[in-house]
Amino acid sequence: MKTLKQAKIGETARVVKLHGEGALKRRIMDMGITKGVDVYIRKVAPLGDPVEVTVRGYELSIRKTEAESIEVQ
């Protein structure tokens, strides 16, 4: 299983499934990361975490631990 955490900078990944549950999962989905959407990995913060991604035309910052619950292809 490949997750958003493993995706490389400059890569565009398509979301397959969201793992986890409750508040965190809902929050990720509320922000527009849902099944089938394309996520572009823009950059990593200077200290290595979090990552900045582009989704649905805007910039979003997400921690690597959270990116791990997003399955992509």
Partner 1 sequence: MGKEIKIALAGNPNSGKTTLFNALTGSNQYVGNWPGVTVEKKEGKLKKHDDVIVEDLPGIYSLSPYTLEEVVSRNYLVTERPDAVLNIVDGTNLERNLYLTTQLTELGIPVVIAINMMDIVRKNGDQIHIQELSRELGCKVVEISALKGTGVQEAAEAAVAAAKSAKTIPMHTFSGPVEHAIAHIEEAELNGVPPEQQRWYAIKIFERDEKVLAQLNIPKQTLDHIELDIKAAEQELDDDAESIITNERYVYIATLMKGCYKKKNAGKMSPSDKIDKVVTNRWLALPIFAGIMFLVYYISVTTLGTVVTDWTNDTLFGEWIQPGVSGFLTNIGAAEWVNSLVVDGIIGGLAAPIGFAPQMAIVFLFLSILEDCGYMARVAFIMDRVFRKFGLSGKSFIPFLISSGCGVPGIMASRTIENEKDRRMTMMTTTFIPCGAKLPVIALIAGFLMGGAWWMAPMMYFSGIIVVILSCIILKKMKIFAGDPAPFVMELPQYHFPSIKGVLLHVWERVWAFLKKAGTILFLCCAAMWFLGSFGIQDGVFGLVDTESSFLAVIGGGIAWIFKPLGFGTWQAVASSLSGFVAKEGIVSTMGVLSGLGEVEEYAVSMHDQFAAFFPTSIAAVSFLLFNMFDSPCLAAISTMSREMGSRKFFWFAILFQNLLAYAVSLMVYQIGGLILGEIAFSAATAAAFLVLAAVLYLLLRRDPNKHPERLPERQAAYTR
Binding partner 1 (rule: CB under 8 A), the pick from 45, 68, 71, 72 is 45
Q: Looking at residue 70, what DSSP letter applies?
A: E
Question: Is residue 14 part of the contact set for partner 1 (CB under 8 A)?
Answer: no
Cα gap 30→41, rounded to integer Å: 19
Binding partner 1 (rule: CB under 8 A), the pick from 1, 8, 10, 47 is 47
Q: What are phi and psi of 56, to 5 degrees?
A: 50, 35
Question: Is residue 1 part of the contact set for partner 1 (CB under 8 A)?
Answer: no
Instruction: Write out the residues near partner 1 by the rule CB under 8 A.
Output: 18-32, 34-37, 43-50, 52, 56-63, 66
